Amino acid sequence: MVDGIHRYLDKLTVDHVPKRTATWKPDYSSPQAYARSLEPQRQRLRKILGVVDQRLPPAMEYVSAPNRPALLGRRRTTRFSRSAGRCCQAYTVKGCCFEPSDKARACVVAIPDADQTRRPSQD
């Protein structure tokens, strides 16, 4: 059965090459033309993945309350603070902002494992 599935998927892959080349016509004349030529494929992929919500400009805010300061901690080179922001109209993102004390050398988005639950005392 597994061999049959492999044969079927291999055939689908081979058969898809002419279909892909018929619809995918990248324009290599300039970086801007290339980006424009890929836009239909990007839109199609967004729809397939369900990433269709209008994105908002990035805007994170510190989250605090009278009994819960935004600052969670500080190390020699980094501050840790509660933060939140909106990525689209329907969703608010909450997390921890890691801020270097001197010039930033990288940007990182840390996402916990899917089976990791937050502790009730966290917000």
Looking at the structure, do residues 105 and 118 belong to the same domain, yes or no? yes
Looking at the structure, do residues 45 and 58 belong to the same domain, yes or no? no
Looking at the structure, do residues 67 and 98 belong to the same domain, yes or no? yes
- Picking from 60, 56, 55, the residue whose alpha carbon sits closest to that of residue 97 is 60
Query: How many domains is the chain built from?
Result: 2
Q: pTM, whole model, 2 decimals?
A: 0.49
pLDDT of 120: 56
pLDDT at 84 over 70: yes
Q: How confident is the model at residue 7 (pLDDT cuts 50, 70, 90)?
A: very high
pLDDT of 90: 79
Looking at the structure, do residues 39 and 61 belong to the same domain, yes or no? no
Q: Average pLDDT of 77-104?
A: 86
- Picking from 109, 54, 102, 103, the residue whose alpha carbon sits closest to that of residue 83 is 109
Give CA–CA dist 119/44, Å, rounded.
38
Which structural domain range is residue 38 located in?
A: 2-49
pLDDT of 51: 84
Looking at the structure, do residues 122 and 92 belong to the same domain, yes or no? yes
Radius of gyration of the chain (CA): 23
Looking at the structure, do residues 112 and 79 belong to the same domain, yes or no? yes
